[in-house]
Chains A and B, each alone.
Chain A
Amino acid sequence: MRRFALFIAFLAFVAGCGDAPSPRAEAAAADPFCQGAMAAVDSFVASGAQAAPEDSRFGGTAVVGGIAEMVNGMNAFATIDYGANQYQQFVNLMTLVRLDEELVPQPYLAESWSLSEDGTELTFQLRNDVHWHDGERTDAHDVAFTFLRATDPETAFPNASFWDRYVPGPEGVEVLDDFTVTFRLEPHAEVLDPWRAMAIMPEHLLGEVPPGELAAHPFGTVCPVGNGPFVFVSHRPQERWVFQANPTFPAGLGGRPALDRIVYRVIPDQTTLLTELLTGAVDVYLSVRPDQAAAVVQDDDTRLEVFDPREFTFVGWNTRRPQLADARVRRAITMATDRSAVVQTLLRGYGIVAETGVPPFHWGHDPDLAGVDRDLEAARRLLSQAGWVDRDGNGVREDAAGLPLEVTVVYNAGNQDRQTIVELMASELREVGVALTPEGLEPGQLAARVTDPAVRDFDGIALAWVAEFRVDEKDLFHSERANQPWGFAGIGDPELDALLDTLQLVEKREDAVPLWHRYQERIVELQPFLYLFYSQKLTGITNRLQGVAMDSRGEFNSVRDWWIGDASGR
């Protein structure tokens, strides 16, 4: 008995000491920068605190569960992580503009903007009532700072190409007054797009940090200071992020959000995550697997939010390989792959077949585009025409020189869905005499083998990524970029190059649409990638969480309006 008591005492000790200081205090203690920043946030939030409005919608905590940590957290200068970017845009920070349901830019941090007649000067008029969570006002200097650092090569911001057609450096930006800022640019399409994605960062906190040190600055994951509807409270790596309502969020933008707190939890195993949704431990399960969707729909306490596809899955070919150099071979492979069956079985119907990387929601998307249909006979004919015939009767075709039509498709080891797709392709391509070998690779090795221009040791790679609202596939297909990491397809097509060059320069959408349609036709003709499908984004939500509207803009687009329907529990 005494031992048992000792054991309990031990647990109490662990429980008590393990967290003696609050996570925030602990984080602050680790770094002088954080110490100051967090103290200022606390006092500012306390000063702004007021009784929540007398509305039953106010209050409560929503818990969001996802499988991965938000890499780089709230550091907009470093992140390429979809999840972290969502939190930057909609939760903790603010962008100059945000998209409405029609994907047209609307005012957010910027009250209004104007583009000069000749399209070379873009001027933003900012709101004057937005404050950083430590009390400083967000102003034009922050915007200029964000632009300068994001485009500074020393920062090494992966998305610096957002501003490729802006005049770089200090000549490109001018602060007219505290709330007015002008950018100089060459005329091009969708000039506002960078400002939809890139959150504005605080100059008063990060202005002195050398650009080369920004990516690793504790601001990102230890003590972010934002200006958005939710204030950072704490972050325990691999465990959770906690944000609380910002009482000072401008009334003009809707004021304080309804939720008291929003928590992001990292739960790496998807079976566990589903369990946590069904038992009510998390309210939102981001990216439900299609084969789990039925369980979410059937449960009385949860619902499934389905929104339009932005993410597409494809197999990128290395067209430098002799087996894959001929577009007819690539087309035959597409013909032999039963993509609509993949959508029906693997995606359980939650998706559509993809023909190009121009997503269905994009205004340039051609709904009448003639895609590639499954046709085994035509595939066989095409392969024979291209000179690939099974000369030795072993079931695999060879070219005149005897080179067998064998391709290895690599994928991220551990990604079950990717693996299943490649295995399916292997089985289907056997029917037309193509030997496809799936090979799962550790992610770092995969990246090195495919994207290192000096290596390029692969035939095909199965990948998925999220389409941006401004589609620019120069990095993928322009012959100028063939020796950059993402020019792995190695396609060199003069017409495609010309299209890629002009598409981004046509300012009027109606003038650009025919070009976009031709671009998609050309992609279908060339088949640099085997586009498989656009998968719909599935989100599981408990019924206690209300006011959730998700669409292709992102899961957190409506986060300010989320509210807890039942007061029990959290």
Chain B
Amino acid sequence: MRRYLARRLLLALPLLLGVATLLFLLVEAAPGDPAEVLMSPGMTLEVRSQIRTNLGLDQPLPVRYARWMGSLLGGDLGFSHSYGSPVATVLKRALPNTLLLAGVSLVLAFVLGVGIGVVQAVRQNTMVDSGLNLLVLTFYSLPSFWLGIILILVFSYGAQSLWGWPLHFPASGVTSVDYDLMSLGGRIVDRVRHLVLPATTLVLVMAAGIARYARSGLLEVIRQDYVRAARARGLGRMQVLFRHALPNALLPLITVLGLYLPILFSGAVFVETVFAWPGMGWLMVEAVSSRDYPLILAGSLLFATLVVVGNLLADVLYAWADPRVRYD
């Protein structure tokens, strides 16, 4: 196991390096630079070239690449001109927000998806099965930003302004404006309230896929001998399901979890934009349009690292949960 891990990690390094280089070249090749995207009549050629000089962009490409790689290896991610602070500071603010939203959504989507999958498997080929299938598919089939807007209209605008429901949720941001003045309890409630709508959006979108895996996984396990044997021993249907079938059916889902990470991070941008959630996806899109090269590169590297580490974790978890799996 340990050797396997070491090998995987070693393989990950050139991979990340490749990702970084690829993106560096792509971003550099795109027309427009930080001086050009400033659209204002006062921007003469002289001002533009001075801005390039000030940002160190007047150096030839290989020099900049070497310099960037050098400082990266030295642990310095560079300076983000569009945020006026070191890239590390910018990322340190955005990353926790994305991780919180993605993490909570993933856990809840898992719970919901597996629940639905179990019900579907138990009631296989009935109206319940098809009905649930259609329901989760419908949510899966709506573009997430649009689903988000609809949730906002119903549970924020409608619930608060039109119908006066006691339960309504904030439509944007991670915390209220007066968060800093709240007690600890108030802060937790405030954070959870702000999480509700964006997390619900992501959960609804993701649950369909997980439910599908859970249903087919369970159906496969149910047919296997030991489950039949357990049934034959006279154990109750539910008992067999939850004690024997489910745990085994869930194992492959751990790998699916790893596969979901990139989808989650990329998909988060839509939800982040709609709900004004200051996370990585939104940050990266803005960084590209303002041609903030160091920020784009460092952010992408971070994404890639998360994906690689996430997959690795899923494998380790899988091996830990299923003693039959050996990676040596």
Contacts and interface: CB of A to CB of B under 8 A. Distances in A.
Contacts of B93: 236-237
Nearest to A238: B278
Given A220-B84, A238-B283, A239-B278, A158 B50 contact: no
Contact of B171 (A22, A153, A279): A279
A263 B181 CA distance: 14
Contacts of A160: 42, 47
Contacts of A345: none
A512 B226 CA distance: 97
B1 interface: no
Give the most central of B42, B273, B291: most A CB within 10 Å.
B42
Interface in B141-177: 145, 149, 152-153, 156-157, 160-161, 168, 170-174, 177
Contacts of A71: 82, 290
A444 B188 contact: no
B257 to A, nearest CB: 17
Interface stretch (A10-18, A180-188, A320-328, A557-565): A10-18
A541 to B, nearest CB: 16
B48 interface: yes
Given A14-B100, A216-B84, A221-B83, A153 B152 contact: no
Given A444-B32, A476-B41, A215 B81 contact: yes
Nearest to A281: B170
A19 to B, nearest CB: 8
Interface string B52-76: 0111000000000000000000000
A484 interface: yes
A291 interface: no
A506 interface: no
A444 B100 contact: no
Interface string B276-289: 10100011001011
A12 B188 contact: yes
Given A30-B89, A267-B276, A80 B40 contact: yes
A271 interface: yes
B289 A275 contact: no
Interface in B3-43: 30-33, 36-43
Contacts of A31: 85
A275 B148 CA distance: 13
B278 to A, nearest CB: 4
Contacts of A236: 93, 278
A159 B40 contact: yes
A218 interface: yes
Contacts of A402: none
B232 interface: no
Contacts of A485: 36, 43-45, 48
A12 to B, nearest CB: 5
Contacts of B168: 279
B224 to A, nearest CB: 28
Nearest to B160: A279
Give the most central of B160, B161, B275: most A CB within 10 Å.
B161
Interface string A10-44: 01101110110011000000110000000000000
A215 B54 CA distance: 9
A16 B276 CA distance: 21
B178 interface: yes
A72 B84 contact: yes
Nearest to B46: A153
A356 interface: no
Nearest to B157: A275
Nearest to B273: A268
Nearest to A154: B50
B169 to A, nearest CB: 10
Interface string A392-408: 00000000000000000
A30 B83 CA distance: 14
B157 A279 contact: yes
B42 A80 contact: yes
Interface stretch (A332-340, A423-431, A445-453): A445-453
Nearest to B171: A275
Contacts of A161: 42, 44
A216 B171 CA distance: 33
A238 B286 CA distance: 10
B192 interface: yes
B265 interface: no
Contacts of B40: 80, 158-159
B87 to A, nearest CB: 12
B156 A279 contact: yes
Given A161-B42, A216-B84, A271 B51 contact: no
B32 A222 contact: no
Given A237-B90, A275-B153, A15 B273 contact: no
B144 to A, nearest CB: 13
A217 interface: yes
A220 B83 CA distance: 9
Give the most central of B36, B37, B174, B192: most A CB within 10 Å.
B36
29 contacts: A11-B188, A11-B192, A15-B184, A16-B187, A18-B96, A61-B178, A71-B82, A156-B54, A158-B38, A212-B50, A217-B84, A218-B85, A236-B278, A238-B282, A238-B286, A239-B173, A265-B177, A269-B273, A275-B156, A278-B161, A442-B32, A443-B37, A443-B289, A444-B289, A445-B31, A447-B36, A448-B33, A452-B36, A485-B48
Given A272-B276, A451-B43, 14 more contacts: A30-B85, A69-B286, A73-B84, A158-B47, A159-B42, A161-B44, A162-B42, A217-B84, A237-B278, A238-B276, A269-B276, A272-B171, A448-B33, A484-B44
Interface of A: 7-8, 11-12, 14-16, 18-19, 22-23, 30-31, 61, 63, 69, 71-73, 75, 80, 153-162, 212-213, 215-218, 220-222, 236-240, 242, 263, 265-269, 271-273, 275-276, 278-279, 281, 299, 442-449, 451-453, 463, 475-476, 483-486, 570
7 A-B pairs closest in CB distance: A444-B32, A448-B31, A156-B50, A238-B278, A221-B84, A475-B41, A448-B32
